[in-house]
Structure 1
Amino acid sequence: MKKNVVLKGILDAGVIAVIRGDSRDQAIKIVDAAVKGGIKIMELTMTVPNPLEMIKEAADKYKGTDVIIGAGTVLDTETARACILAGAQFIVSPSLDVDTLKLCNKYKVLVTPGVMTIKDAITALEYGVDIIKIFPANLYGPSVIKSFRGPLPQGEFMPTGGVAVENIHEWVNVGAVAVGTGSNLTKGAATGDYAAVENEARRFVEAYRKAKESK
């Protein structure tokens, strides 16, 4: 899938499921439940056992659909390249690593680094980053996007960390182009309640839709 198609998919969908789990099997079940609930963008993190196998399995399973599989918690170029070869269609990092940005640009793969400062955000823009991840967003609150967009109105920002159904409208209202959600979405999986994950995914999609419509 081409980079521009992935970017459009993320911007259209708006909600990215950040998938962690105690096992590959649990992570895949979370992915399936989130997809059933209507979320189309999956960030499979490198903190899961056998993460590359998980990415390949998910990428193969949803090949030819509108579900987009990416890799998260990518810390370096070696991991980024391995994820891309396993089938990841976008790369997400918790911080900004210039070498990882260069590698993803080389392969024309969308990359979203996490930033906490204006300096990092400017560096991200200099390396052609399309969506800048604000992480951990719960340390700031929605007003941080207005602060970032003051000197950087050309930036597109995505908060991850602390985003919930109850506050998603606050992030959208200040200009977030997408949101990432992890534990608030997937907490049901801890007890094997994947129906709860599916239901929460449905609530996230609906809350995002309403927030965009009312903006």
Structure 2
Amino acid sequence: MQKLLQKMKQEKVVSIIRCNSTNELDEVVSALYDGGIRFVEITMNTPNALQGIEMIRLKFPDMMVGAGTVLDTETARLAILSGASFLLAPTLNEGSMIMANRYNIPLIPGVLTPTEILRAYELGAQVVKVFPIRAFGPQYIKDIKGPMPYVNIMPVGGVDIHNAKEYLDHGSFALGIGSTLVNDRLIVEKNFTEIYNRAKKLVEAIR
């Protein structure tokens, strides 16, 4: 677990893929990989998400693939058995945390308030997902890190190429980035070159 989290901190970006089909997932992940992204999250409300996770593990052995939108214990276990290297959730579910810890797989739960953040940490979360961050901005990360410097924070829901560096400068452990990297429009249009360009620009901006 620690080795994966250290790599996540080093790479800094998790690309969140939420789409209506996994038919083009191969091309999407290839574009992200070529652009410098090494962590992707397939949300569990994507059709055939588990098969998508398995496919990525086979075709892209250097890409760390996780499952997102993990809302309950059953989903956590299925994702782990399908080969997810890490899990993310928009909420904090104690049962899911216990399941992930049992398998030594990091689950990054969704939290927002200081109380929720501390509770997630007490349940064993190595990293917490502050979501949605859009209304609060980078300063919120710095404010939380003041009294709780030991908590690793991943902001999600409002992070893009324009503010990514600022979030990192304010103490973020890593960043979760969704539709500004990959969205249904780009996938439907098969505009994988644009996905590659966005990934490359983002990686350059934060390094």
TM-score tier, shorter chain, comes to over 0.9
SS of structure 2 residue aligned to 1:70: strand
Q: Cα offset for 1:41?
A: 0.4
Using the size of structure 1 for normalisation, the TM-score is 0.92
| Residue number in structure 1 paired with 2:133 | 137
Match 1:185 to one of 181, 185, 192: 181
Q: Cα offset for 1:30?
A: 1.6
Asked if 1:160 corresponds to 2:156, the answer is: yes
Higher share of residues assigned helix: 1
Residue correspondence of structure 1 range 61-100 to structure 2 within 5 A:
61-63=59-61, 65=62, 67-100=63-96
Equivalenced residue count is 205
- 1:38-92: per-residue Cα shift (whole Å, max 9, x none)? 10001111121111111111112223x2x10111011011001000100100000
Structure 1 runs not aligned, ≥5 long: 210-215
Distance 1:144 1:189 in 2: 33
SS of structure 2 residue aligned to 1:102: helix
Deviates more, 1:29-38 or 1:183-192: 183-192
Counterpart amino acid of 2:31? A
Distance 1:145 1:89 in 2: 25
Counterpart amino acid of 2:76? A
Cα RMSD (Å): 1.1
The answer (yes or no) to whether the contact 1:19–1:31 under 8 Å persists in 2 is no
Distance 1:20 1:190 in 2: 13
Residue correspondence of structure 1 range 48-127 to structure 2 within 5 A:
48-63=46-61, 65=62, 67-127=63-123
Q: Cα offset for 1:27?
A: 3.1
